Structure 1
Amino acid sequence: MESLVTVFVRLLPYILSFATFLIFIEQINYLKKKRSVPGPNLVLPFFGNAISLVRDPTSFWDLQSTMAKSSGLGFSTNYIIGRFIVFIRSTELSHKVFNNVRPDAFHLVGHPFGKKLFGEHNLIYMMGQEHKDLRRRIAPNFTPKALSTYTELQQHIILKHLKSWVDSPDSGSNPFPLRLLCRDMNLETSQNVFVGPYLSGESRKRFEIDYNFFNVGLMKLPVDLPGFAFRNARLAVSRLVKTLAVCAEDSKTKMKLGEEPTCLVDFWMQDTLREIAVSEDSGEKPSPHTSSTEIGGHLFDFLFASQDASTSSLLWAVTLLDSHPEVLSRVREEVAGIWSPESDKLITAEELRQMRYTEAVAREVIRYRAPATLVPHIAGEDFPLTETYTIPKGTIVFPSVYESSFQGFIEADRFDPDRFMEHRQEDRVYKKNYLAFGAGPHQCVGQRYAINHLVLFIAMFTSLFDFKRERSDGCDEIAYVPTICPRDDCKVVLSLRCRRFPCLS
């Protein structure tokens, strides 16, 4: 009887021939989808250009942008992990994707492997009437009254963390990176604003550990096997949603007693309880969207949407204010005329609205360095993107909000907050190019909250601290973690600029 080795040697030419055939078919399929659109003509089997994407995301997407721009088409192609992709630079074509999120066109995925990570029943993947109904239920969470409640919570956490920064042994003379500090501050802010008193003690500690698992897994290849970061992230999401569902149930119990809302889930539960009561009075079964489990899942969506994007914006705000001292001076002058850190008072909602230049700075930070540079979608069906090119079904499409931010605006490559002031109104004139919060049916519902958070941070950080970046070669280059931040994680030297830190209970 022939040995296994002998059999393998005899079969090896056939195995190699079959593998070569499969590689050839894969290459032909890629070129068939690519057609004459710019993109690599040869790609590695299955992996495509995933290695270069993971190794250096900035260079990968810069190359896609260069190809899209030089061709005049406004888009380019590539191949990653067995998936054909289309990168869109053109603002007009990006809007075409954003405005056609529906079953027979594009499906928002938020992350190339998001369904595996977040689960199928996620706000990101909803479409049509179901999505409209849910957005209607979410709206009461962002009324002026609700935002005013959050403003107070945001400031307490910001001040708490800023004090820990200046009290750190590293402050005063030694530069230290702000990225992880801002991330921790934002995570605590999100926890307090979204679920307030319902997450405490061991639950909060476990929550932070699980969110870190999730954050790490976001940037890894989707290897869903034990011990791999992606698997750890997927399991962590399940635990996080369960924890948030318990918070929603506790809030529901409290709101039934008629108490005043103190965080976002309370405002949500007030409206949810009214909806449940109407259903019960009419003898109908309450909507599935009123269950604590579903609401826990949507709270996680909020957390994901706000956490890393906000961290990115805070870091770029510090970076850009440091490199534009004339802007920093105007911010300090405006804030000083409205709020003093030595007053031991918080900034009121009315005072926040008066900080128009500081808000213009915040909006320009978000335009100039859009946190989530790309918003992945999947083509549910063949879709005619232009008169000459149809995106094949199953393609992952990447509209670039970052690229749109540098189109249309006057001297778009210049950091210029005045473009958002009343005398120029570029936010209205070039509204279609300002895509940092998305467009169409999935446009961000919490953008006012996000702007408020950035304005509050800028106002307090610049009033309390003198700061100086530690400049090094490439420190301001873009790094993906997964949203964008300065490559050096924004290293600064901090010192207290006021006589004392605010004393707030």
Structure 2
Amino acid sequence: MVFSVSIRASLAPYIVSALLLFLLLEQLSYLIKKRNLPGPLFVPPIIGNAVSLVRDPTSFWNKQSTIAKNSGLSANYLIGKFILYIRETELSQQIFSNVRPDAFHLVGHPFGKKLFGDHNLIYMFGEDHKSVRRHLAPNFTPKSFSTYSVLQQLVILRHLRQWDNSFSNESRPVSLRNLVRELNLETSQTVFVGPYLDKEARNRFRSDYNLFNLGSMALPIDLPGFAFGEARRAVKRLAETLAVCAGKSKTRMASGEEPTCLIDFWMQAIVAETPPPPHSGDDEIGGFLFDFLFAAQDASTSSLLWAVTLLESEPEVLSRVREEVARIWSPESLITVDQLAEMKYTRSVAREVIRFRPPATMVPHVAAKDFPLTESYTIPKGTIVFPSVFDSSFQGFTEPDRFDPDRFNETRKEDQVFKRNFLAFGWGPHQCVGQRYALNHLVLFVAMFSTLFDFKRFRSDGCDEIVYSPTITPKDGCAVFLSRRVAVYPNFSA
């Protein structure tokens, strides 16, 4: 025992020296990669500034944006990874336009590959990626959108009716954040895999998705009991559930039945091919469906909350929405696809909500090799790069700090004039395939909510400040007083 203690004592100086050398090399590596970019001069060892990011992501990213104001770039260090924040639109465009094996890999989350699993559309390139996107085309046709619109409205109306019964004319405000999350989760489940989830599966689905949400905002510690590890396992279960749905849909579509949800339109095209196309196995489809869920769920929750927040703060905009919707639609029936297309001002409002408060403020990528971004700076291989969609949304546009839906009307057409700055749905080969679906969902919600409810914000200190959860939402969760605007509440069933 004495001999063992003696050995440990003699080794201690070497261990300490090795640790100090490691920390020194870590700092030097960071400074070499950072070069003359703005950012912290020294970073905490190993974990970097991850604690600051997890504790207050809004403050962390605002600071990165502020210090990048002059150069368009800023640097930092997170859990062994050098990161680069890109504020300038033209520089962000270079990242989005160069997603390929030898340039940038889209990851969707700083530790997304580990969190999301292997079968994931955002990690695919080249012909494989093109093939999957080509086979997604049947999901986004006029016929499929008509089917989705009915399902979306039925879910929206069911939840709005519950809000009316529970909260209308209450003396206390209600925070819409959790209510909207539940509405969106049921909408996604119903539209994507509607008839293939029973009540028990839907409850498990909800529980697992909540675990995923919590873990996506936590330190990436993949151990039992830690939020990130629980989230990774929840994603695996969600993908397995969706894979079962894909199998059931294939069987049903092979028997010649009509599609009733998104997975049916997709599987109908797949079962018609002999041999089956690449990447059409149930497990792969389950992973791709989780991509859709992730893209639709939290982004829509963010947009719906900001829509209510911004409409309440802009009475003239709200009045114009109500006038347009009343001219086109009566709550005695569902909104038809043709009526939805007529709601041009309401659609402009939806687009402006997404520009003014883009749900996913950044889209993380990883540099697969050294990439010359500017004449004076080359992004080192392995860097996690964060092009800022949020910053781009406030560049180029006329009076960008003003909420102004008319910028998207047929006269000004700022969605075309400043198209390169409107990055909320991405750019290039990985641009969001479901953007029309997302916009339709937002327009339907705005039309119905503003028609059926009067609403007034409960103003508290900092209520409109941005928080990450994981997409951006108002700090107060959009707390409002609700009261019914219509004499008879619409009641439809599937």
2:438 counterpart (442, 446, 450): 450
* In structure 1, distance between residues paired with 2:97 and 2:116: 23
Per the alignment, residue 427 of structure 2 pairs with 439
- Kept in 1: contact 2:167–2:482 (CA 8 A): no
Per the alignment, residue 359 of structure 1 pairs with 347
Deviation per residue, 1:108-137 (Å, 9 max, x gap): 000111111111331010011110111000
Residues 173-188 of structure 1 aligned to structure 2 (within 5 Å): 173-188=171-186
Per the alignment, residue 59 of structure 2 pairs with 59
* In structure 2, distance between residues paired with 1:409 and 1:485: 23
Identity in percent: 67
**Which segments of 5 or more consecutive residues in structure 2 lack a partner in the other structure?**
none
Q: Report the CA distance shift for 1:171/1:297 in structure 2 as closer, same or farther (over 3 A).
A: farther
1:47 counterpart SS class: coil
Deviation per residue, 1:258-311 (Å, 9 max, x gap): 1111100110011101123xx3xxxxxx33422222111111110011100000
Q: How far has the Cα of 1:434 moved from its partner?
A: 0.2
* In structure 1, distance between residues paired with 2:5 and 2:85: 47
1:427 counterpart (411, 415, 432): 415
* In structure 1, distance between residues paired with 2:6 and 2:452: 76
* In structure 1, distance between residues paired with 2:296 and 2:365: 19
- Kept in 2: contact 1:170–1:176 (CA 8 A): no
Count of aligned residue pairs for this structure pair = 493
2:456 counterpart (462, 468, 472): 468
The answer to whether structure 1 residue 35 and structure 2 residue 35 are counterparts is yes
- 145-154 or 14-23: which moved more? 14-23
The answer to whether structure 1 residue 334 and structure 2 residue 318 are counterparts is no
Residues 139-178 of structure 1 aligned to structure 2 (within 5 Å): 139-168=137-166, 171-178=169-176
Amino acid at match of 1:144: P
1:306 counterpart (290, 296, 300): 296
Amino acid at match of 2:463: C
Q: How far has the Cα of 1:171 moved from its partner?
A: 5.0
The answer to whether structure 1 residue 324 and structure 2 residue 300 are counterparts is no
* In structure 2, distance between residues paired with 1:391 and 1:447: 30
Deviation per residue, 1:322-356 (Å, 9 max, x gap): 11111000000000101122x2x000000000000
- Kept in 2: contact 1:195–1:265 (CA 8 A): yes
1:412 counterpart (379, 393, 400): 400
* In structure 2, distance between residues paired with 1:121 and 1:299: 10
Per the alignment, residue 489 of structure 1 pairs with 477
1:69 counterpart SS class: coil
Deviation per residue, 1:46-98 (Å, 9 max, x gap): 1111111111111111111111113xx21111001010000001111111000
- Kept in 1: contact 2:305–2:478 (CA 8 A): yes
* In structure 2, distance between residues paired with 1:242 and 1:427: 39
Per the alignment, residue 2 of structure 1 pairs with 2
- 465-474 or 18-27: which moved more? 18-27
Aligned CA RMSD, in angstroms, stands at 1.3
* In structure 2, distance between residues paired with 1:503 and 1:163: 8
Q: Report the CA distance shift for 1:171/1:131 in structure 2 as closer, same or farther (over 3 A).
A: farther
- 382-391 or 250-259: which moved more? 250-259
Q: How far has the Cα of 1:213 moved from its partner?
A: 1.3
- Kept in 2: contact 1:173–1:494 (CA 8 A): no
Per the alignment, residue 196 of structure 2 pairs with 198
Amino acid at match of 1:431: K
Per the alignment, residue 282 of structure 1 pairs with none
The answer to whether structure 1 residue 128 and structure 2 residue 104 are counterparts is no
Q: How far has the Cα of 1:411 moved from its partner?
A: 0.2
Q: Which runs of 4+ in 1 moved over 3 A?
A: 3-14
1:337 counterpart SS class: helix
2:101 counterpart (103, 119, 135): 103
Q: Report the CA distance shift for 1:202/1:396 in structure 2 as closer, same or farther (over 3 A).
A: same
Residues 87-98 of structure 1 aligned to structure 2 (within 5 Å): 87-98=85-96
Per the alignment, residue 232 of structure 2 pairs with 234
Amino acid at match of 2:307: A
Q: How far has the Cα of 1:16 moved from its partner?
A: 2.5
Q: How far has the Cα of 1:6 moved from its partner?
A: 5.6
Amino acid at match of 1:452: N
Q: Report the CA distance shift for 1:98/1:169 in structure 2 as closer, same or farther (over 3 A).
A: closer
* In structure 2, distance between residues paired with 1:2 and 1:249: 65
